[in-house]
Amino acid sequence: MSAADATILLVDDHSVVREGYRSVLQKQPGLRVIAEAADGAEAYRLYKSETPDLVIMDLSMPGIGGIEAVRRIRQWDKAARILVFTMHENAGFAVQAIRAGARGYVTKTSPPESLVRAVKDVLAGKIAISPDIDHELALSRISGESSAADVLTPREFEVLRLLLAENTTEEIAETLHVSPKTVANLHSLIKDKLGVGSDIELVRLALRQGILTEVDLGEA
Amino acid sequence: MSAADATILLVDDHSVVREGYRSVLQKQPGLRVIAEAADGAEAYRLYKSETPDLVIMDLSMPGIGGIEAVRRIRQWDKAARILVFTMHENAGFAVQAIRAGARGYVTKTSPPESLVRAVKDVLAGKIAISPDIDHELALSRISGESSAADVLTPREFEVLRLLLAENTTEEIAETLHVSPKTVANLHSLIKDKLGVGSDIELVRLALRQGILTEVDLGEA
DNA sequence: GCAACGTCGTGAAATTTTCCCGGCGTTGGT
DNA sequence: ACCAACGCCGGGAAAATTTCACGACGTTGC
């Protein structure tokens, strides 16, 4: 392990997956895994104490998720290099991750070589995006599916989040200190803006765009 | 590699995860990974040609999913030993997997030792279930959350699946050759039987119970 | 045979969704 | 300072949906 080795922090809540990362990266000269974390909070803590050259970060994790972890790390170190490596092939997640400050986005379906290449690219200062995600992004542009976070006003987005949570119209009206009528109006307006006809479609859209993640369901 | 080694087929659509499996299992004497598959169809094909002693199977995969792959393999070989190893910590998935013929269910959050132990248990003819899933199952018994597949009649379940797909009431009526009114009635009855008040809750329940999986969304 | 149940449908009441409207405050440009 | 544009809040009423009660029909099982 030469002093010139690039140091890496692995973040994934599945230990077997971390094992896989390590196995792949070990074969590459010049790379050294110096720490591992199983959730966002631990990742943040370890980044501050170890200041690795690169973080490889999963998104779906209990507690503080990957996106939030990216945000926090970047807030602490504007120069942090974070490569998101996740199962989610949705363009929505990629957009969120990059906006949060990630320098790369690679899906887990990619072959190991792609991960290695992305690692090297990010270390070299480049931005690395999976080809399939590039394609997804292009498609979402073409199909014109509006990103909820973009077309909705803050208030509308807030109502959307609460709707997806599990609250009834009345409960949401209660928490927001407005009349149930307003919530119903916003609910209708949101569906209109997002171009969906039913609540079921609304939930599907939210899942696609990563507003609601499957792991959230456990907390119900 | 002695002739007494237990042969293993790995099934997971993420190559890095397979890398992790292999790395963990390699350290164990008496185990030998002889093949890998990235989806259910390939798993079925490889099982028939290789007849391994054990299959380690992921659930979320493109095309033919893990549950269906388990079913097919067991149909071809009633003695097949399949260990499901997945990220899903929902009891619903575990129930489905076991009913389909899996001999074990371990979540990816479990430490590598748990995987190794489960592999040995299943090879020894035992049933291996993660402690966290045991707990989940106990909770779902206590909370009395009705399993959709159990309380719903076949017809109701069919309508539920179509509702979750993306169809409108009219489209479903069309495909089932019944009046839209009947579909609406069933829709209402389903929500009543499952004890949910809104469509949004309905989707959440379906996700928890594995009737709808996040990967299905891509096909929308 | 008949009781129980699943399936399909009607009709009418109850509720919700949707659309249109106005008021109010903030922002930004002229 | 003014006005226009927009976000936010909710009322009212029409339109659509959800829900409930009810009956018919066939099948199953005692």
Digit-coded pLDDT (tens) for A67-119: 889 999 999 999 999 999 998 888 888 888 888 889 999 999 889 888 999 99
Q: Are residues B160 and B187 in the same domain?
A: yes
Strands (DSSP E) contained in chain B are: 6-11, 31-37, 54-57, 82-86, 104-107, 128-129
Evaluate whether residue B92 is within a structural domain.
yes
- Model pLDDT, residue B142: 65
- CATH, residue B121: 3.40.50.2300
Q: Does A118 touch chain B (CB under 8 A)?
A: no
Q: Are residues A25 and A90 in the same domain?
A: yes
Nucleic strand C under 7 Å from the C-beta of A191: yes
Of A141, A167, A197, which residue constitutes the final position of a domain?
A141
Q: Rounded to whole angstroms, how far apart are CA atoms B18 and B38?
A: 9
User: What 3-state class would DSSP assign to B126?
Assistant: coil
Evaluate whether residue B1 is within a structural domain.
no
Contact B203 A204 (CB under 8 A): yes
Average of per-residue pLDDT across B167-194: 89
Evaluate whether residue B189 is within a structural domain.
yes
User: Strand C: which bases are under 7 Å from protein Cβ?
Assistant: 5-11, 16-20
Q: Are residues B17 and B106 in the same domain?
A: yes
Of the candidates B147, B160, B18, B15, which has an alpha carbon nearest to the alpha carbon of residue B93? Answer: B147
Q: Are residues A28 and A93 in the same domain?
A: yes
The pLDDT of residue A218 is above 60: no
Evaluate whether residue B135 is within a structural domain.
yes
Q: Which is more confident, B65 or B126?
A: B126
Q: Does A21 touch chain B (CB under 8 A)?
A: yes
Average of per-residue pLDDT across B203-217: 77
Of the candidates A123, A120, A96, A90, which has an alpha carbon nearest to the alpha carbon of residue A108? Answer: A90
Contact B168 A197 (CB under 8 A): yes
* Cβ-defined contacts of A129-138 (< 8 Å, 24+): A129/A94, A129/A104, A129/A105, A130/A105, A130/A106, A132/A89, A132/A107, A133/A89, A133/A91, A133/A94, A133/A105, A133/A107, A136/A89, A136/A90, A136/A91, A136/A94, A137/A91, A137/A94, A137/A95
Contact B13 A199 (CB under 8 A): no
Of B141, B162, B193, which residue constitutes the final position of a domain?
B141
Q: Are residues B23 and B85 in the same domain?
A: yes
Evaluate whether residue A169 is within a structural domain.
yes
- Model pLDDT, residue A140: 67
pLDDT band per the 50, 70, 90 thresholds, residue A191: very high
- Model pLDDT, residue A134: 84
Task: State residue A84 phi and psi, 5-degree precision.
Answer: -85, 130
Q: Are residues B41 and B92 in the same domain?
A: yes
- Model pLDDT, residue A2: 53
- Model pLDDT, residue A9: 94
For residue B22, the Cα-to-chain-centroid distance in whole angstroms is 22
Q: Which is more confident, A56 or B64?
A: A56
A118 with A83: CB under 8 angstroms?
yes
pLDDT band per the 50, 70, 90 thresholds, residue A220: very low
Evaluate whether residue A205 is within a structural domain.
yes
Q: Considering its fold, how many domains does chain A have in total?
A: 2
A39 with A62: CB under 8 angstroms?
yes
The alpha carbon of residue A187 is apart from the nearest alpha carbon of chain B, in Å, by: 12
Around Cβ B181, how many Cβ atoms within 10 Å? 10
Contact A217 B199 (CB under 8 A): no
B133 with B194: CB under 8 angstroms?
no
Q: What percent of chain A has pLDDT over 90?
A: 44
Tens of pLDDT, residues B40-58:
999 999 999 989 999 999 9
Sort A32 into a burial class: Cβ within 10 Å, 0-12 / 13-18 / 19+.
middle
Q: Are residues A16 and A100 in the same domain?
A: yes
Q: Which residues touch strand D (CB under 7 A)?
A: A 153-156, 176, 178-179, 181-182, 185-186; B 169, 181, 184-185, 187-188, 191-192, 197
Q: Does B207 touch chain A (CB under 8 A)?
A: yes
pLDDT band per the 50, 70, 90 thresholds, residue B220: very low
Pairing of strands B128-129, B104-107: parallel
Tens of pLDDT, residues A150-188:
788 888 899 999 999 878 898 999 898 999 999 999 999
pLDDT band per the 50, 70, 90 thresholds, residue A216: low
Residue A37 per-residue DSSP state: E
Pairing of strands A82-86, A54-57: parallel
- CATH, residue B160: 1.10.10.10
Distances (CA, A) of B20 to A25, B116, B160: 12, 12, 37
Q: Are residues A27 and A97 in the same domain?
A: yes
Nucleotide D10, nearest residue via CA and C1': A182
Q: Are residues A163 and A209 in the same domain?
A: yes
Q: Are residues B113 and B194 in the same domain?
A: no
Q: Which residues constitute the domain of residue B108?
A: 6-141
Q: What share of chain B is helix, strand, coil (3-state, %, to 5)?
A: 55, 15, 30
Nucleotide closest to residue A176 (CA–C1'): D9
* A-interface mutation test, from B200, B207, B212, B215, most A Cβ less than 10 A away: B200
Q: Which residue of A has its CA nearest to B163?
A: A200
B37 with B56: CB under 8 angstroms?
no
- Model pLDDT, residue B214: 63
Q: Are residues B79 and B156 in the same domain?
A: no
Evaluate whether residue A60 is within a structural domain.
yes
Nucleic strand C under 7 Å from the C-beta of A187: yes
* B-interface mutation test, from A14, A15, A16, A198, most B Cβ less than 10 A away: A16
Of B97, B124, B141, which residue constitutes the final position of a domain?
B141
Q: Are residues B47 and B74 in the same domain?
A: yes
Q: Rounded to whole angstroms, how far apart are CA atoms B218 and B162?
A: 16
Q: Which residue of A has its CA nearest to B198?
A: A168
The whole-number Å distance from B175's CA to D24's C1' is 23
Evaluate whether residue B15 is within a structural domain.
yes
Partnered with residue A6 across adjacent β-strands are A31
B124 with B141: CB under 8 angstroms?
no
Q: Does A161 touch chain B (CB under 8 A)?
A: no
Mean per-residue pLDDT over chain B, rounded? 86
Nucleic strand C under 7 Å from the C-beta of A168: no
Q: Which is more confident, B220 or A111?
A: A111
- Model pLDDT, residue A3: 57
- Model pLDDT, residue B146: 63
